[in-house]
Chain A
Amino acid sequence: MMTYIVFILSTVFVVSFVSFSSKPSPIYGGFGLIVAGGIGCGIVLNFGGSFLGLMVFLIYLGGMLVVFGYTTAMATEPYPEAWTSNKAVLAMFITGVLAELLTACYILKEDEVEVVFKFNGAGDWVIYDTGDSGFFSEEAMGIAALYSYGTWLVVVTGWSLLIGVMVIMEVTRGN
């Protein structure tokens, strides 16, 4: 199973995205996001990005999603829509899961699949390697480069985050 772990995680990732894209009530959508975040962390970990995967848990799940959960809790409705309470949501969910299952079966059956790029079945994820990275972890070197050579990128992203907050406050001002 460990040879196919990335493939399995990717399939469950898509299913959790389907679970909130079928638009249940935000509380249940938040649950789908938590699962998706955890699985995304797992996928990143499998490619050697240990720091960034744990950052997903810490900042994304532990920071942003907690805030989202609290705001959703403040805005609850008396009868939240789960996946089976509304036929439309259930139909969308089943469509999404069916599409993903059919894609997964197609990938597993055929040896070589070319959708956008060629990849040789599920085993291709095992030896996915774009080159010799030497003794240093590429991910740690990337983060180091962000804070040394990539100062402009830090400035731009920091400014965008600040503007995000200000835009949200302007949009929800409402007078």
Chain B
Amino acid sequence: MNPPIFIIIMLTVISGTMIVVTTSHWLLVWIGFEMNLLAIIPILMKKYNPRAMEAATKYFLTQAAASMILMMWIIINLLHSGQWTVLKDLNPMASIMMTTALAMKLGLAPFHFWVPEVTQGISMSSGLILLTWQKIAPLSILYQISSTINPNLILTMSILSVMIGGWGGLNQTQLRKIMAYSSIAHMGWMTAIMMYSPTMMILNLTIYIIMTLTTFMLFMHNSTTTTASLSQTWNKTPLITSLILVLMMSLGGLPPLSGFIPKWMIIQELTKNELIMMPTLLAMTALLNLYFYMRLTYTTALTMFPSNNSMKMKWRFECTKKMTFLPPLVVMSTMLLPLAPMLSILD
């Protein structure tokens, strides 16, 4: 894409999300969502193949429908309360439907069907923006209405999301679909804790964004999109092989890596609120996620698949992709656990 146009469109994506995050007027929330949606469509369609166009169309239709539902219930909330402020108590019905609309935007089950298809159809860097930046705006609105969310609805959606994220990702070999199901599962964890401690949701979002950013950047460095080509990483850049090992373990939520912090905090907050079955189910279904991360680790770092001799010469070519900020990101996504006692400042 033409560089000045690309800069303007990225600016609009960023300012759309910033408008949603910082505004206190419901109309501006809707405007921010629509700006974000409109500007990200050409980014999803960077490559002009039918697959990318179909993915962009699917994304547009689901997000536009969710924005319409959100707008309708914003107006009905205005009818009942007479004011447009975001932080005031919502009408209960409006709260349920707004939560549904925002769940459609996030890709929570049962509205998750678009996530793997859209993520698979677009390029790796567009998928990166889709799975990290696009989650910030809806989660910020859920944060602001978190005191009035119906618990039955949000907890059902979150446990369904973690289950679907786990089971859905098991049969995948395409890396973008694996990351899409990983995103669905992580959104499930985030919305589980939303009602009880929204700060933990922000913590989970931050650590999820750092880990997903790192994962995508490692995949982009190697230009791999399938598990099979990921298994040849030991040829191309052996360092990335070990990094993928550590990163996948972190995504799976294993201590002593930073992916463990959000899971630990969420389980702690849920048990403090006298829910026992819920964190048990969440932790057990997160094992499914861990299984397919481990499969990626196995094929990448722990095993050498058979390949012909010409594939073994790839290390002779220096990789020219500039992955700025990758080393700090890797450190942040794996070594933050000793800093967990800093969370005591929240009390």
Contacts and interface: CB of A to CB of B under 8 A. Distances in A.
Contacts of B28: 153, 156
Contacts of A153: 28
Contact of A163 (B8, B19, B80, B93): B8
B42 interface: yes
Given A163-B9, A171-B45, A156 B35 contact: yes
Chain B's interface: helix, strand, loop or mixed, by majority? helix
B12 A159 contact: yes
B76 A116 contact: yes
B1 interface: yes
A171 B39 CA distance: 11
Interface range for B: 20 to 34
B31 A156 contact: yes
B79 interface: yes
Nearest to B44: A171
B38 A164 contact: yes
Nearest to A174: B48
A133 to B, nearest CB: 14
A167 B39 contact: yes
Contacts of A173: 48
A148 interface: no
Given A130-B82, A175-B48, A163 B38 contact: yes
A74 interface: no
A164 B60 CA distance: 14
A163 B12 contact: yes
A117 B78 CA distance: 12
Nearest to A156: B31
Contact of B35 (A117, A163, A171): A163
A166 B9 contact: yes
A157 interface: yes
Given A157-B31, A160-B34, A167 B82 contact: no
Nearest to A159: B12
A160 B76 contact: no
B254 interface: no
Contacts of A167: 9, 38-39, 41-42
A129 interface: no
A175 B9 CA distance: 18
A170 interface: yes
Contacts of A156: 19, 28, 31, 35
Nearest to A175: B48
A160 B9 contact: no
B31 A163 contact: no
A117 B79 contact: yes
Interface in A1-50: none
A167 B39 CA distance: 6
A170 B76 CA distance: 36
Contact of B5 (A117, A130, A159, A166): A166
Contact of A166 (B8, B19, B45, B80): B8
B234 to A, nearest CB: 38
Contact of A170 (B1, B15, B79, B82): B1
A160 B35 contact: yes
- Interface pairs A-B: 6 shortest CB-CB: A170-B42, A163-B12, A160-B35, A167-B42, A167-B38, A163-B39
27 contacts: A116-B76, A116-B93, A117-B76, A117-B79, A117-B80, A130-B82, A153-B28, A156-B28, A156-B31, A157-B31, A159-B35, A163-B9, A163-B12, A163-B39, A164-B38, A166-B5, A166-B9, A167-B38, A167-B39, A167-B42, A170-B1, A170-B5, A170-B42, A170-B45, A171-B41, A171-B42, A173-B48
Interface of A: 116-117, 130, 153, 156-157, 159-160, 163-164, 166-167, 170-171, 173-175
